[in-house]
Chain A
């Protein structure tokens, strides 16, 4: 058995029966980039929570010590 057509040659693009997910429109992709960029702000919240926990730990240590 060999490749149905030589490597590099274009055959039928979408075989019958193959379900290909719909590609978002260009505007949707632009919005998605913007959404991902804005979503990154959650990292600041995560860092603040981490800092708060360290602060709490140091406070407990100071009270205990």
Chain B
């Protein structure tokens, strides 16, 4: 009887082990999906020369009203207006409306001085009760514009961005096709002397816009119009309700999705370049991206009935777009799942642990090489300026983990032997577990980097840690924080990013 019980117990343990192994393996595979989707998106980029909107574009110069939301933007708004009125665009077809959201600085004086200097072209619209956020400010201006027949297209921008002279007409040329509802430009990090963090952001913008949005042009569906450069046809703006969404923190994404749900196309124009000022410290970046991250969670919930349902909308509900959307949104979760899967396989004594680790990081290495090499070529100016940040984007520690996955003998035997060391079995297990856990630990390390920045030694330590831990893990940590804030129902505050006019300089 005891023997039978023992056999049953062994069978039960084997069954549990087998199930555990499959579950852990599934976690690792799920963890690899966003990496594969990143590679897939980049493989679409070289198709853009054939699948783009240029064949339907034509010289077209509609009457454009520019809406500039401004809250305490006295340092930057004057230069923005000066650059707007000097755009290569017919002066009688361009008007600038600055919506002053009850600013308490010299914004009204600056704007009114420009209104006097450019009569009939620049207007100051004042909201006496402000502080409700960008979308409310925009709606104040849009409602006034749409009351007039003059406006044929509306350009929504930020007060601090600088449009290159040809950028607006390069955007309007797509509106010559009436099926296009909105066009967005390439927002480029524009500091004259960027610090390490702004160089990371500059590189990120090349990857996330000039590459990823070209891929979305190929798919015929765009995830987001850049908040600082979105041009809507009047018909489109009226079709989406004549106002900007005020219920989420990602009003630009909601406008993008509503435009496409209404049957109009949204185009990314890579040759319309807009320079923007970006945060110089991790704290400010965290605040900005937390807002974006929470906005994306809110948008995902709002359009919950759309994802992976091509019968609702062929492209927005398509499998490709759903994968791209959720790969970005759920990347931090899949990284944690991947770590759990690898550690689980290791603890279950499965030989699959090492194979899964190698396969995961082999895919990551190929994707990293492809994306990095492509990105620095797509925008050579940023590529030259930010090549160190391009290399260190995933973090130097992650690069070491990749190298370990590709050449384990080198790191477990050869290098320790150079120092006369030999890893014991326990030491080897500890290193292995640390490698498997790094996908999760890197986000904790990124959060610690943010904490370190506030300390006395932050100015020196934070940049060092950033290159070691990586900018990518920092973005993942912020996204993770956005889940937590949304889950807890934290107050939805429009935390404005402070701008001081570095781009103007």
B59, B124, B144, B373: the one contacting A49 at CB < 8 Å is B373
Q: Which 9 A-B pairs have the closest CB atoms?
A: A11-B120, A37-B54, A29-B59, A50-B373, A47-B46, A46-B377, A40-B49, A11-B119, A4-B119
B150 within 8 A of A: yes
Question: Chain A: which residue is nearest B151 at the CB level?
Answer: A8
Given contacts A7-B125, A11-B120, 4 further A-B contacts (CB under 8 A): A1-B109, A9-B120, A43-B48, A54-B366
Question: Chain B: which residue is nearest A4 at the CB level?
Answer: B119
Within residues 51 to 93 of chain B, which ones have a CB less than 8 A from any CB in chain A? 52, 54-55, 57-59, 85-92
Residues of B within 8 A of A47 (CB): 43, 45-46, 374
Residues of A within 8 A of B370 (CB): 50-51, 54
CB atoms of A20 and B91 under 8 A apart: yes
**In the complex, A8→B333 CA distance in Å?**
50
CB atoms of B88 and A23 under 8 A apart: yes
CB atoms of A40 and B48 under 8 A apart: yes
Q: Give the number of residue pairs across the A-B interface with Cβ within 8 Å.
A: 121
Residues of B within 8 A of A32 (CB): 170
**In the complex, A16→B54 CA distance in Å?**
37
Q: A18 and B173 in contact (CB under 8 A), knowing A46-B46, A46-B374, A53-B373?
A: no
B279 within 8 A of A: no
**In the complex, A30→B322 CA distance in Å?**
36
- Size of interface on A: residues with Cβ below 8 Å to B: 46
Residues of B within 8 A of A42 (CB): 377
1/0 contact string of B355-368 vs chain A (CB within 8 Å)? 00000000001100
The 10 sampled A-B contact pairs (Cβ below 8 Å) are A1-B109, A4-B115, A8-B150, A11-B121, A13-B121, A18-B85, A21-B165, A29-B173, A30-B58, A30-B59
**In the complex, A54→B48 CA distance in Å?**
22
1/0 contact string of A12-48 vs chain B (CB within 8 Å)? 1111001111111010011011101100111111110
Question: Chain A: which residue is nearest B51 at the CB level?
Answer: A40
**In the complex, A57→B378 CA distance in Å?**
21
B169 within 8 A of A: yes
Residues of A within 8 A of B120 (CB): 4-5, 9-13
**In the complex, A43→B42 CA distance in Å?**
10
**In the complex, A8→B147 CA distance in Å?**
9
**In the complex, A43→B212 CA distance in Å?**
13
B271 within 8 A of A: yes
**In the complex, A46→B377 CA distance in Å?**
6
Within residues 445 to 487 of chain B, which ones have a CB less than 8 A from any CB in chain A? none
